[in-house]
Amino acid sequence: MSSILIYNANILSFHSGFQKGQGDALLTEGNRIKAIGRYEELKQLAASTAEVIDAEGKTLMPGFNDTHIHIWKVGNLETYMLDVRGVASMDDMLEMLGEYNEKYPEAVWITARGFNEALWKSGKLPTAQDIDRVISHKPVYIIRTCAHIAVANTKAMQLANITASTTVPTGGVMHLDENGKPNGIFSETALGLITSHIPPYSKEQLKTMVKAARDEFYRYGITAATDPAVDPLLLQAYHEMNKAQELGFRLNALPIILPDGGEEPYSIPQLFDSDFFQVNTVKFFSDGGLSGKTAALNRHYKNSTDQGVLRLQQEQYVQLCRQAMEKGLGVATHAIGDAAIEFVIDIYKRLHADFPAQIKRIEHLGLPLEKHLQDMQAYHIATSMQTIFLHELGRNFIKYLDEDYLNHCYPVKSVLQHGILAALSSDAPVVKDFNPLMGVQSAVTRTTSDGDVIARQEAITVEQALRCYTSNAAAISATDEYGSIEPGKLADFILLDRNPLTVSPQELSTVTVQQTFVDGKLVWEM
């Protein structure tokens, strides 16, 4: 049985505290942590064949756990899809599309993702007419950074039989031009009007994307992740990868039950649990995103008549939640705006009487009110939040939210003060930089990429933020197998070049991962 003895390390355990004299050495045996202590003591316990590593004073801590990241979509931007995140103008994006089309003339559809019109001088969403200027002979589909809005060119709409009289599914919007004709912009469930006509990826292509994402995970020290929108084919791919021992990181899958644009729900999956793969919660979407003004609000967005979109039909939602919970599964629901949060909490409160022990998660929790936090504490509702949004999407929030909303946007400190179980995550590829240490920095500084500060009073400590990416993240996924450094836990840990507890908050994202270990094996090093 393989064994590693690491010594001369600054150990952040997240179990008995950060640094309370527990030692400077860690010993693994197989895929588990055997002991923590002083080097002189542990080398007596180590097998003669143990690999001995001098950490040279580096910080050793549990691997990061991103509890809300679209894994295959991260990998898709590394493999089969054009990445337009950070593009500075519509013209620049159109130029990239034209170049991509020339590079891949065999592509039947061209798909791209990541634009954010709030970063452009025009501030306007592209339309089919704009895309037609560079590509009109083949279908094009471009997803906004939030993934709740997308734009199709005329050819794509023709192939999808889109006309002004097309029936739009509940919870969706098909935008029209001044002449009452579809202009190519689709929101929320209406995305399915186009995506149902795009040739689906094969199972093998999905596996390729997951492996591409995994390589990026290792670089950031991510050893566990939750994919919060898994359709049946992707679920099959994950099961097959797990059986073939191809995952290489701890994966928690949240199968979606209601597909975009579809009236018929997917089948409720079975509970599953293994060292590398678990399925214990299903996923729903109740609204959209703040950065595109589709999150459902009780008030209007600033200088707008928009209030976002509520996507779920109450009785169907309750019925499907019950079906899942009767099979032992928990429920996670995307809810960002205060109207959507209230809708979801009211349903969770109804379900609590019959399923008090089942997982109940709110994904994002962008604009909760005080009464929502009180209810979450009382009914044991957990949340996975994204402070990293403040860094990359803060300009959008400042542009679209009134002062009151902005002052309690992603209120992580208030959430923790109410005793609510909270994890931090990235929602990548909604954001381009999904480095957990950037998420920690954003949670501590609340600073946008432009240098503005959003809701300063909701800043948390570095220690709290690190726990939200490790021990809290494991707890929200209902596992005690990892998330801390202690004997008996799975040997997933990382070595950092500096101690994040002692660097300045503004430099947290510059702390680098030197080595990543999963299952007692070194899987990546700088």
pLDDT digits (tens, 9 = 90+) for 338-347: 999 999 999 9
Which pLDDT score, from 0 to 100, does residue 118 have?
87
Under 8 Å between Cβ of 394 and 450: yes
Place of tokens 């159109």: 94
81-195, CATH topology level: Diaminopimelate Epimerase; Chain A, domain 1 (3.10.310)
Over residues 100-108, the mean pLDDT reads 91
Sheet of 82-83, strand order: 82-83, 110-115, 140-144, 149-152, 182-188, 172-176
Over residues 446-455, the mean pLDDT reads 97
Which pLDDT score, from 0 to 100, does residue 19 have?
54
Counting residues of the chain whose pLDDT is more than 70, the rounded percentage is 98
CA gap 30, 32 in Å, rounded: 6
DSSP code, position 477: T
Which pLDDT score, from 0 to 100, does residue 14 have?
80
Predicted confidence band of residue 21 (pLDDT cuts 50, 70, 90): low
Which pLDDT score, from 0 to 100, does residue 137 have?
95
Report phi then psi at 41, rounded to 5: -80, -45
Place of tokens 């994890």: 423
Peptide bond into 429 cis (omega under 30): yes
Residues of the chain with CATH 3.10.310.70: 81-195
- Average pLDDT along the chain: 95
Which pLDDT score, from 0 to 100, does residue 16 have?
58
Give residue-wise pLDDT tens across range 30-68: 999 999 999 999 989 988 899 999 999 999 999 999 999
pLDDT at 251 over 90: yes
Counting residues of the chain whose pLDDT is more than 90, the rounded percentage is 92
Beta bridge partners of 227: 253
CA gap 325, 346 in Å, rounded: 16
The answer to which of 85-89, 276-280, 410-414, 506-510 has the lowest mean pLDDT is 85-89
Pairing between β-strand 277-279 and β-strand 281-285 as defined by DSSP bridges: unpaired
DSSP code, position 490: B
Give residue-wise pLDDT tens across range 262-319: 678 999 999 999 999 999 999 999 999 999 999 999 999 999 999 999 999 999 999 9
pLDDT at 20 over 60: no
Under 8 Å between Cβ of 167 and 189: no
pLDDT at 17 over 70: no
CA gap 164, 349 in Å, rounded: 40
Q: Is 279 helix (H, G, I), strand (E, B) or coil?
A: strand
Which pLDDT score, from 0 to 100, does residue 260 have?
78
Which pLDDT score, from 0 to 100, does residue 83 have?
94
CA gap 405, 483 in Å, rounded: 33
CA gap 96, 109 in Å, rounded: 15
66-70+202-483, CATH topology level: TIM Barrel (3.20.20)
pTM score: 0.92
For residue 230, the tally of other CB atoms under 10 A from its CB is: 26
